[in-house]
A and B are shown apart, each in its own frame.
Chain A
Amino acid sequence: MATPHPTDRPLTHNIRPGEPPLDLAGYERAGGYQGLRKALKTLAPTDVMQAVTDAKLRGRGGAGFPTGNKWSFVPRGKDAPHPRYLIVNADEMEPGTFKDRLLLEGDPHQMIEGAIVSAYAIEAEIAYIFVRGEYTLAIERLERAAAEAAERGYLGRNILGTAFSLELHVHSSAGRYICGEETALLTSLEGQRAIPRAKPPYPQAAGVWGRPSVVNNVETLCNVPHIVCHGAEWFRGLSRGLDAGTKIYGASGRVKRPGAWELPMGTPLGELLEEHAGGMCEGFRLRALLPGGASTGFLTPEHLDVAMDFSSVEKVGSRLGTGALIVLDDRTCPIGMLRNLEHFFAQESCGWCTPCRDGLPWVERLLAAIEAGEGELRDLEILEMHTQFLGMGKTFCAHAPGAMAPLETGLKYFREDFERHIAQKGCPWRH
């Protein structure tokens, strides 16, 4: 039943850098909306969910939660509350990460199709694509694609003559990092302050406007039509690692070719860095890197063999996150990098819970003081205390724990640098 995909890069197959994205006709010629046709015409919503479960698709927003499993918590049956919502989390604000932007700008119809098929799977009547406000080009292209899809009958009432109807809205975020947190996103979508919600209730039971909702990342949902078209087995076979499918990896920092590439899930870190990012720039050596955005822990050159999938990266003490490498070279002060990161996290704290709201600014100031040569040895204890007490479960959401990931590993890997700053009363990189 499943037809093999013409490519092993299903997500970016249609994307031609520097060229406008495919319009509806082009997308359809390239095989687009076949997943939608197949799902609506031949599959029950639970079949679509089953295919996604079988494909072992894990959420690409960073946490890697199994998508089919997430969907399975949506209440079904006659008494289940309606309307229900599918929300695409396109609020990509993780520093160093630009994979969703590539997908949204490069192939907006794939996003629309992914949203429709996924909405069908969870029997949602309304879908929102919650897009980072600065992604104006993506918003423009999504809106155009959505209008084309509606015109063609892929959106609206009785899609393809079936009983399934879907209303889709492209929503421009008002712009805070915390809006990418799935419950804060819901609160923000409702027009309230973007503050995360306590779970339970989970969004599947009571999400936006208290109704069942599923929030999935852009990249996650873009996989769904392909899984429907070509089957779970095909999808699992794309991977080289422990998790299924492909992954859009990226790299920034002093590498020769910064960018983003769709590669088999589980591509080794070293291969990513050397073959795809072109290795370090002349005169720079790799000091450490963040494997998946700012809220993942540092890895060092000794970790270059690790397979870049969720399970493998966790084993070496970090997280795959968004798969976007931020590379630290040997000529940049790691304390300065940490200070920069923690400045971001402190500023983006929503202000709801105490440890995050008041702890992160303290961390930032300590790092700034150390960098400026005003640090004390005791400051390291205070930083350690924060890595412990801003950990998971102690704060309201995962924002502060994410902020502590680079700090905790940084204190481990850059201990000497910290101590030199304090002993020399200044930054060794500045003179």
Chain B
Amino acid sequence: MTTLHIDGREYEAHEKDNLLHACLSLGLDVPYFCWHPALGSVGACRQCAVKQFRDEKDSQGRLVMACMTPAADGARVSIQDPEAKAFRASVIEWLMTNHPHDCPVCEEGGECHLQDMTVLTGHAYRRYRFGKRTHRNQYLGPFVKHEMNRCIACYRCVRFYRDYAGGRDLDVFGAHNHVYFGRESDGVLESDFSGNLVEVCPTGVFTDRTLSARYTRKWDLQSAPSVCVHCGLGCNTLANARYGEVRRILNRYHGELNGYFLCDRGRYGYDFVNGPARIRTPLEAPRVNKGPTAAQPLARQAALARAVAILREGDAIGVGSPRASLESNFALRELVGRERFHLGISDRDDRLLAAILESLRNGPAPAATLREAEESDAVLILGEDVPATAPRLALALRQMVRRAGFARAEHLKVPLWQDAAVRDVGRGIKSPLLIATPAATRLDELATLTVRAAPDDIARLGFAVAHALCGAAAAAADLDEAARERASRIAEQLSGAHRAVIVAGTSLGSEALIRTAASIARALRGRGCDARLLFIVPECNSIGTALLGGEPLAAALDALREGRARTLVVLENDLYRRAERGAVNAALEAARHVIAIDHTLNETVHHAELVFPAATFAESSGTLVSSEGRAQRFFQVLSPRGEVSAGWRWLNELARAAAIEPVRTGTASATLKRWRSLDEAIAALGRACPQLAAIGDAAPSAAFRVSGERVASAPARESGRTSEHADRSVFEPPPPPQPDAPYTGSMEGYYGVMPGALYPFYWAPSWNSVQSLNKFQQEVGGPLRGGNPGVRLIEPPDGTRSASEARDGCGEDSHDRDIPHPFEPREGLWLVVPQYHVFGSEELSALAPAIAERIAGPTLALHPEDAAVLGVRSQEPLELVLDGATHRALAQLHPELPRGVAALSAGLPGLPAFELPAWLPLRRVASAEPPR
């Protein structure tokens, strides 16, 4: 720690920080533009000028840029110095010479960092009397709008897009006061992180196109903390809503997780909430000849009565869902009874998740947070196409690779916040990023080593790496020379690491990959490396439901088909994405009754005779458990329209409506019917499942109050509370009740420092934009004041194993001996592995129109020689039979793919992927012209 003298007062600061960072951490207002807590300092905008004095005798001082000045011990600084203030006002005056002053029609207005800084510096009267330069705006795709005239040339956009996120199609052109930030020509921004431009841009150059379509000022938006439902990482989001619609998603800072940034799937996937396929009322479709008929709306009580009647027939089983909250899954389990509750995932996913839980619970290594992955010094990826299956992790790994360069910067005494210099001196120096996947991934460009192999061969390679690191670990037999050499190179790169992270996951369906990741972590820990595991799971609550426990889906389908169960209650789950069509059809036909609880129409819902409209993340509160094993609460932001209710609430009402003896199995529903709020559901869940008891700590309960007040749901609104429903009436209704959350549902209420999980938006006096986040962090870039949200549910027994213990045990795991056989191509068949897409492979985001625009048709990647065998050329259609139906995909030639392996677009709408990897015949489409 160092002592700073700022305007005559003493403060403590970190010597590794710059003055701007230190001042903001101390709560002092120093205006800035080009500096960003995650992007560091470049000294371009000159807005953060302060005066620095040599010593106490120096009365002259000189202006320095706070962001480019170390917070050196004893530094004497004045923010309030008249010259410094005048200079800062001048910077705004210069920026305003070309800014169009179009705040009233600008979508950034009211949450604009430029507005805030203008007011903060005191510049008010315009002296510039000449013309302004104008630019042409570009079409940048469905996510981001472009309005270049507003640009103040802070360079943040290109620094984020290019330097931080690795994008190439956004750049700065021109020079002097005609610099232009955009693409070379109009077109869709290629980066998967383009939406962050909206928050990175300090003014209205880059704005959210999806918000624009139904624009609302920040002060008219209800806001609540939420958790992204579009992959398993559990990134924190802020959901903003008005007039019954979610209108945008913003990043919600989490110091250990997503930090300042989201991926575009997480930011723009939300629109399924507002989609035409939403179910708003209960539906009834009487079964005729065991098939569905046209669904008719049904009143709430009638629907409940109908369901009660069905349940009274007995023999009901439940199928839960990894995309539904823990509370809803648990409520279903309570309704049908523990033995009759199923997880709603395939046997294979069940096994994979069990293996992941086993590794995380019993060691060898704890789960890595995203921040730990970013700050690790070596990463090995086994089988996961990270940019597609966990995009935000890919962004973290982009930063990880730079760490080796940081050492050189430190050697040259370049402070790490000096972004441009650190990048300059670190060029060409990479921390090990080792990627083993069947097909190329978009992280490969950063990798220090890539391996292309079939899933089993990747696992074999992994075991060989573990063996090379620790002789006691089992080694794959008959490894060929090339593989052995690669394994030793990987081991060599990992062996220098102090904080390695091994990434694996479920996407290739290989349990061996999960076990090999664990054995490598074990071997590394045995060498004294603080290795961690990062498992990528398919859905937002995959780990939560796995912790809850239950039989996999196949058991439910079997029970129905074999008549051991008569009624199926399926919760937020499209079974056709999980299991073979034939098996699902047979089970649904065999079932006497099918009750579905879901928010959006899907094929399973079409087969239900009774449908209850479930709430999405936006209309309900609940708990999800991320891939890291972190339980996190999302809070309702929308008052549900129609009869929409949280899944668990329908089940609770059902139990209450039955008001009878438990529906068949034991006493469970006796408590279910007594739930009145989410907190009671959580308490019941904690009592029933000790492994989940801690979820109560994920966020404060609905009873949370500050000075007797609930927390405000919106910033102080300029246009008054009546505007909330101004589309229907200017009568001011009371805010809707919030039984499940400690929010007011209006602009009234407490707003200030609060538990980290509760921040519903960021706003502070003088700071109306998202940059006001500074005011709610313990220090800039550190944990939130009130703590980082969520609670880790899984830690290895004693946190970490001691090195000696691990060394003894590095070869002990008996599973390690189940090493797969080498991959061998088969005549006339291809091992078709899933190829995930950031846009399209995830079920819910694919329903959002903006995302849908980005979904390309299915492709099938294969080796050029395999393509020649099939007589197919690039971009020609191929056919394959998947789940009983013939599908077409365009051939793509990938010379890096192993012979005999093909990669098919997975999970695109209408193209289920649960079977993959699978050995399948491929066929050139007959109508395609033969190759010349």
B47 is an interface residue with CB less than 8 A from chain A: yes
Interface size on B, residues (CB 8 A): 44
Q: Contact check: which of A193, A201, A209, A385 meets B414 at CB < 8 Å?
A: A201
Task: With both chains docked as a complex, state the minimum distance between the C-beta of A345 and any C-beta of chain B, in angstroms.
Answer: 9
Q: Contact check: which of B43, B86, B176, B418 meets A361 at CB < 8 Å?
A: B176
Contact status A353-B43, CB under 8 Å: yes
B768 is an interface residue with CB less than 8 A from chain A: no
Task: With both chains docked as a complex, state the minimum distance between the C-beta of A295 and any C-beta of chain B, in angstroms.
Answer: 16
Q: Which residues between 41 and 93 of chain B lie within 8 Å of chain A, taking CB atoms? A: 42-47, 49, 62-64, 68, 86-87, 90-91
Tell me which of A159-167, A314-322, A390-398, A415-423 binds B: A390-398
Contact status B176-A357, CB under 8 Å: yes
Interface string of A337-358 (1 = CB under 8 A from B): 0000000001111111111011
Task: With both chains docked as a complex, state the minimum distance between the C-beta of A402 and any C-beta of chain B, in angstroms.
Answer: 15
Q: Contact check: which of B47, B178, B421 meets A351 at CB < 8 Å?
A: B178
Closest to B158 in A: A193
Q: In the complex where A351-B178, A353-B45 touch, is A205 in contact with B412 (Cβ < 8 A)?
A: yes
Q: Which residues of B contact A385 (CB under 8 A)?
A: 90
Q: How far is the CA of A375 from the CA of B175 in the complex (A)?
A: 28
A171 is an interface residue with CB less than 8 A from chain B: no
Q: Which residues between 132 and 188 of chain B lie within 8 Å of chain A, taking CB atoms? A: 152-153, 155, 172, 174-179
Q: In the complex where A197-B420, A201-B412, A396-B44 touch, is A357 in contact with B179 (Cβ < 8 A)?
A: yes
Contact status B414-A354, CB under 8 Å: no
A176 is an interface residue with CB less than 8 A from chain B: yes
Contact status B176-A389, CB under 8 Å: no
Q: Which residues between 83 and 107 of chain B lie within 8 Å of chain A, taking CB atoms? A: 86-87, 90-91, 94-95, 97-98
Closest to A394 in B: B63
Closest to A202 in B: B412
Tell me which of B193-201, B424-432, B904-912 binds A: B424-432
Q: How far is the CA of A343 from the CA of B130 in the complex (A)?
A: 15
Looking at A210, A359, A382, A393, the one whose CB has the most chain B CB atoms below 10 A away is: A210
Q: Which residues between 190 and 245 of chain A lie within 8 Å of chain B, taking CB atoms? A: 193, 197-198, 200-201, 205-206, 209-210
A365 is an interface residue with CB less than 8 A from chain B: yes
Contact status B46-A355, CB under 8 Å: yes
Q: Which residues between 668 and 720 of chain B lie within 8 Å of chain A, taking CB atoms? A: none
Task: With both chains docked as a complex, state the minimum distance between the C-beta of A110 and any C-beta of chain B, in angstroms.
Answer: 32
B413 is an interface residue with CB less than 8 A from chain A: yes
Contact status A351-B177, CB under 8 Å: yes
B128 is an interface residue with CB less than 8 A from chain A: yes
Looking at A176, A200, A354, the one whose CB has the most chain B CB atoms below 10 A away is: A354
Task: With both chains docked as a complex, state the minimum distance between the C-beta of B607 and any C-beta of chain A, in angstroms.
Answer: 59
Q: In the complex where A354-B45, A361-B97, A362-B94 touch, is A210 in contact with B424 (Cβ < 8 A)?
A: yes
Q: Which residues between 305 and 333 of chain A lie within 8 Å of chain B, taking CB atoms? A: none
Q: How far is the CA of A394 from the CA of B87 in the complex (A)?
A: 9
Q: How far is the CA of A347 from the CA of B174 in the complex (A)?
A: 11
Interface string of A357-374 (1 = CB under 8 A from B): 111111001000100000
Q: Which residues of A contact B46 (CB under 8 A)?
A: 353-355, 394-396
Q: In the complex where A206-B424, A358-B95 touch, is A200 in contact with B414 (Cβ < 8 A)?
A: yes
Q: Which residues of B contact A358 (CB under 8 A)?
A: 94-95, 97-98, 177
A430 is an interface residue with CB less than 8 A from chain B: no
B127 is an interface residue with CB less than 8 A from chain A: yes
Q: Which residues of A contact B424 (CB under 8 A)?
A: 197, 201, 206, 210
Closest to A81 in B: B408
Contact status B425-A201, CB under 8 Å: yes
Q: Which residues of B contact A206 (CB under 8 A)?
A: 412, 414, 421, 424-425
Q: Contact check: which of B90, B177, B414 meets A357 at CB < 8 Å?
A: B177
Looking at A193, A205, A353, A396, the one whose CB has the most chain B CB atoms below 10 A away is: A353
Q: Which residues of A contact B127 (CB under 8 A)?
A: 378, 382
Contact status B428-A210, CB under 8 Å: yes
Closest to B426 in A: A210
Contact status A201-B43, CB under 8 Å: no
Contact status A351-B176, CB under 8 Å: yes
Q: Which residues of A contact B427 (CB under 8 A)?
A: 209-210
Looking at B49, B97, B176, B178, the one whose CB has the most chain A CB atoms below 10 A away is: B176
Q: Which residues of B contact A361 (CB under 8 A)?
A: 97, 176-177
Task: With both chains docked as a complex, state the minimum distance between the C-beta of B81 and any C-beta of chain A, in angstroms.
Answer: 13
Q: Which residues of A contact B86 (CB under 8 A)?
A: 389
Q: How far is the CA of A359 from the CA of B98 in the complex (A)?
A: 11
Q: Which residues of B contact A353 (CB under 8 A)?
A: 43-46
Q: How far is the CA of A389 from the CA of B92 in the complex (A)?
A: 13
Task: With both chains docked as a complex, state the minimum distance between the C-beta of A3 and any C-beta of chain B, in angstroms.
Answer: 42
Q: Contact check: which of A348, A369, A393 meets B176 at CB < 8 Å?
A: A348
Closest to B130 in A: A365
Contact status A200-B421, CB under 8 Å: yes
Contact status A355-B94, CB under 8 Å: yes
Interface string of A280-297 (1 = CB under 8 A from B): 000000000000000000
Contact status A198-B97, CB under 8 Å: no
Q: Which residues between 416 and 444 of chain B lie within 8 Å of chain A, taking CB atoms? A: 418, 420-421, 424-428
Task: With both chains docked as a complex, state the minimum distance between the C-beta of A192 and any C-beta of chain B, in angstroms.
Answer: 10
Q: Contact check: which of A193, A198, A348, A354 meets B421 at CB < 8 Å?
A: A198
Task: With both chains docked as a complex, state the minimum distance between the C-beta of A275 and any C-beta of chain B, in angstroms.
Answer: 40
Closest to B47 in A: A354
Q: How far is the CA of A401 from the CA of B558 in the complex (A)?
A: 81
Q: How far is the CA of A365 from the CA of B43 in the complex (A)?
A: 26
Q: In the complex where A201-B412, A365-B130 touch, is A354 in contact with B176 (Cβ < 8 A)?
A: no
Q: Which residues of A contact B47 (CB under 8 A)?
A: 354
Contact status B175-A355, CB under 8 Å: no
Q: Which residues of B contact A200 (CB under 8 A)?
A: 412-414, 421
Interface string of A148-178 (1 = CB under 8 A from B): 0000000000000000000000000000100
Q: Which residues of A contact B176 (CB under 8 A)?
A: 346-351, 357, 360-361
Q: How far is the CA of A362 from the CA of B130 in the complex (A)?
A: 8
Q: How far is the CA of A395 from the CA of B91 in the complex (A)?
A: 11
Q: How far is the CA of A253 from the CA of B365 in the complex (A)?
A: 77
Q: How far is the CA of A347 from the CA of B177 in the complex (A)?
A: 8
Q: How far is the CA of A22 from the CA of B62 in the complex (A)?
A: 51
Contact status A176-B90, CB under 8 Å: no
Q: How far is the CA of A27 from the CA of B557 in the complex (A)?
A: 94
Contact status B128-A362, CB under 8 Å: yes
Q: Which residues of A contact B174 (CB under 8 A)?
A: 351
Q: How far is the CA of A359 from the CA of B43 in the complex (A)?
A: 16
Q: Contact check: which of A197, A351, A389, A393 meets B175 at CB < 8 Å?
A: A351
Closest to B414 in A: A201
Q: Which residues of B contact A360 (CB under 8 A)?
A: 176-177
Q: How far is the CA of A203 from the CA of B95 in the complex (A)?
A: 31
Q: Which residues of A contact B44 (CB under 8 A)?
A: 352-354, 396
Q: Which residues of B contact A198 (CB under 8 A)?
A: 42-43, 68, 418, 420-421
Q: Which residues of B contact A389 (CB under 8 A)?
A: 86-87, 90
Q: How far is the CA of A201 from the CA of B421 in the complex (A)?
A: 7
Q: Which residues of A contact B49 (CB under 8 A)?
A: 394
Closest to B419 in A: A198
Q: How far is the CA of A205 from the CA of B176 in the complex (A)?
A: 29
Interfacial residues, chain A to chain B (CB-CB below 8 A): 176, 193, 197-198, 200-201, 205-206, 209-210, 346-355, 357-362, 365, 369, 378, 382, 385, 389, 393-396
Interfacial residues, chain B to chain A (CB-CB below 8 A): 42-47, 49, 62-64, 68, 86-87, 90-91, 94-95, 97-98, 127-128, 130, 152-153, 155, 172, 174-179, 408, 412-414, 418, 420-421, 424-428
**20 CB-based A-B contacts, threshold 8 Å:** A197-B420, A200-B412, A201-B414, A201-B421, A210-B424, A210-B426, A349-B177, A350-B176, A351-B172, A351-B174, A351-B177, A352-B44, A353-B46, A354-B94, A358-B94, A359-B90, A361-B97, A361-B177, A394-B63, A396-B46
- 7 closest A-B pairs (Cβ-Cβ)? A358-B94, A351-B179, A349-B176, A206-B425, A210-B425, A365-B130, A351-B175
Beyond contacts A201-B414, A357-B153: 7 other A-B pairs, Cβ-Cβ < 8 A, are A198-B418, A206-B412, A346-B176, A347-B176, A350-B176, A354-B94, A358-B94
